[in-house]
Amino acid sequence: MSLSPSKKQKKELKKLQKSAAELWEKQQVVAGDAAALARVVGKQAKRFGRERLAPAAQEKYDEYLSPYVDRARPYAERGYAASKKTLDNRVLPAVGSLVGRAAGAWDAARQATGRTVIVEPPKKKRKTGPVLAVLLGLGAAFGIAFVAWQTLRADDELWVADDPLSAPDA
């Protein structure tokens, strides 16, 4: 029994190869056209965002959020100042102290062969400044999302086609 294909099978295989090559060429053309279309659509979307979406978002921000942001600004600045003060006066010295203690403990452990060295971590104290800063950041993120939602919701008519869909010209 031979495993090589017959003449008829070879002929069919050549036909299949030829039609597969033709299909591949057609797919390459379609893929090229799709890439060109995607580039044009990307440019149009960028222009739409720059000309319509950004001004509408800015208008909605100025209308709805700007007054609240202006009112919250002193609190955010106070929260920032408190966070900076906490970082400068509490966190950095505690970290420096911890590193110094660890280095001292390391040196003492190397010098003393039989002694045990105990390092106590500094006690933790919580302040409201960092919590307020995080809450204001979350509020700002929510506000931006709300403005974007309002902007997109108001422009529903922009996405409705004026003409019924038709096949593209070949």
Please give the residue that has the higher pLDDT: either 105 or 35. 35
pLDDT for 16 beyond 60: yes
The total of structural domains in the chain comes to: 1
Confidence (pLDDT) at 166: 52
- Average pLDDT over the chain reads 81
Asked whether residue 28 is domain-assigned, the answer is: yes
CA angle 138, 143, 144 (to 5 degrees): 100
Which structural domain range is residue 26 located in?
A: 19-48
**pTM (2 decimals)?**
0.34
Radius of gyration of the chain (CA): 34
- The neighbour count for residue 115, using CB atoms within 10 Å, is 8
**Burial class for 139, CB neighbours closer than 10 Å (0-12, 13-18, 19+):** middle
Helices (H), the chain: 7-48, 54-60, 66-86, 92-111, 129-154
The answer to which of 20-29, 51-60, 113-122, 133-142 has the lowest mean pLDDT is: 113-122
Confidence (pLDDT) at 133: 85
Asked whether residue 34 is domain-assigned, the answer is: yes
Buried b (16+ CB within 10 A) or exposed e, 69-91: beebeeebeebeebbeebeeeee
Residue with tokens 């190397």: 110
CA quadruple 122, 127, 132, 137: dihedral, nearest 10: -10
Asked whether residue 150 is domain-assigned, the answer is: no
Token readout for 48 is 């739409």
Asked whether residue 24 is domain-assigned, the answer is: yes
Token readout for 148 is 């974007």
Asked whether residue 29 is domain-assigned, the answer is: yes
Asked whether residue 41 is domain-assigned, the answer is: yes
pLDDT for 158 beyond 70: no
Asked whether residue 27 is domain-assigned, the answer is: yes
Mean pLDDT of 137-144: 88
Mean pLDDT of 99-128: 74
